[in-house]
Amino acid sequence: MKLYGTVAGTTGVSEVTIEGEQIVSLCPASPASAPPDLVIAPGFIDIQINGYGGLSFGTPDTTPEVLDYVVRAQRGIGVLFICPTVCTTSHENTIHALRMLTEARRNPELAHAVPCYHLEGPYIGKEDGPRGAHPLPHVRPPDWDEFRRFQDAAEGKIGIITLGPEHPGAIPFIERLVESGVIAAIGHTGATPEQIRDAVAAGARLSTHLGNGSHARIDRHPNYIWEQLAADELCASIIADGHHLPPSVVKSMVRAKGVDRTILVSDAVAAAGLSPGVYPAEGREIEVLPNGRVQMKGTPYLAGSGLILSEGIGNTVRFAGVSLAEAVQMATRNPATLLGLGDTLGTVAPGREANLVLFRWNAQECSLILESVVVRGRLIPIDEMKDAMRPAGQQAF
């Protein structure tokens, strides 16, 4: 199979030749071979996604079918790899959620799309602000024995854990995570700068949705945001939806961390992908606005993210003044490198597995329109994914 378009990060039209599941060659092609706005990029990777289309990975009634639906729906927006994220909840609910994900991954197609799971909590900061929307009764200090039970339920597939380093025992816990090959991420924290530095020295490698899960007001300096921005050892994930972070903050963070250390995430909750309206959510009501913002009904308070990662790429070009290729890198090569998958995913090059996104790029509006994806060498046009993109039900987190 031969594909024609401008490979993200290059100029001019290229011919991408795929045999089986691999890219075998990449060479210049005639400009007449493809429209000038058709871009070929690596499949997008979202390392933090809680649900989509009315379904959530972390609810007590989640099933293996939830992962199947979300993987198919995400393909329709160009996201070919996800790290399903389970947030703070009871021990029993966490075990159940991990078992359902693991059961779903017995399907080879889903196993390919899900390199690992992201455990966001329960070992996060307890304070209002840093804790965010995580339920206080289930927030607790790190417990290695409990984590091992979680990892057993996940059959070893917990690859990222977000925690607050201010907890007693957090630093040796991070050291044990690193020894076991799990990425330790700092997030939902009110830690002191010294505690941040200790976490980095212990091996923490990621700041989870930096600038969110924090106090509304903090000391001008020093504080835990500056400390993480200054730590070259840390990549920073950001939610570039214009709601969680103002455009000027996105721009400042990208400039501080640099393109190579910035990772775009959706942090999408179950309400993502639903039509504007009001939905029930565990005794509350949340509202999805026409601009995609998800908030508690009748309040200005966010109730999660409704971001679609492809929109986050366009937003980052607009907000941060980076090129399309740089924004794509933040959603492809950078997360692949963090996950240790840089040898197979995240770039378009001979010898790499053929997982690609083909889209039209509108440079004036900084928006992209998906045309098709390639999954392990199989071309799937957008029209064949329409059924999978329909919302699956009511918002469920």
Task: For the chain, 397 residues long, give each residue's pLDDT as a single digit of tens.
Answer: 999 999 999 999 999 999 999 999 999 999 999 999 999 999 999 999 999 999 999 999 999 999 999 999 999 999 999 999 999 999 999 999 999 999 999 999 999 999 999 999 999 999 999 999 899 999 999 999 999 999 999 999 999 999 999 999 999 999 999 999 999 999 999 999 999 999 999 999 999 999 999 999 999 999 999 999 999 999 999 999 999 999 999 999 999 999 999 999 999 999 999 999 999 876 678 899 999 999 888 888 888 899 999 999 999 999 999 999 999 999 999 999 999 999 999 999 999 999 999 999 999 999 999 999 999 999 999 998 865 544 444 434 3
Cα separations (Å) of 102 from 20, 95, 97?
27, 11, 9
Alpha helices, DSSP H only, in the chain?
64-75, 91-104, 108-113, 144-153, 170-179, 193-202, 224-230, 247-257, 309-320, 324-330, 333-338
209 sits in the region (left: phi over 0; alpha: psi -120 to 50; else beta) called left
CATH number, domain 44-339: 3.20.20.140
Q: Which amino acid is at 339?
A: L
Which contiguous run of DSSP H or E holds residue 136? none
d(CA 343, CA 333): 10
Q: Which amino acid is at 396?
A: A
Contact (Cβ atoms closer than 8 angstroms) between residue 46 and residue 81: yes
DSSP 219: -
Task: Classify each residue of 89-126 as buried b or exposed e, where b means 16 or more C-beta atoms within 10 Å of its C-beta.
Answer: beeebbbbbbbbbbebbeeeebebbbbbbbbbbbbbbb
Tell me, yes or no, if the pTM score tops 0.85.
Answer: yes
Report CA torsion sign: 161, 253, 53, 367: negative
DSSP 174: H
State the pairing for strand pair 2-7/367-375.
unpaired
Q: Helix 144-153 and helix 91-104: axis angle, to 10°?
A: 30
DSSP 353: B
The domain ranges of the chain are: 2-40+350-386, 44-339
Cβ contacts of 331-334, under 8 Å, gap ≥ 24: 331/44, 331/45, 331/46, 331/263, 331/264, 332/41, 332/42, 332/43, 332/44, 332/45, 333/42, 334/235, 334/260, 334/261, 334/262, 334/263
Report the pLDDT value the prediction gives residue 387, as an integer from 0 to 100.
54
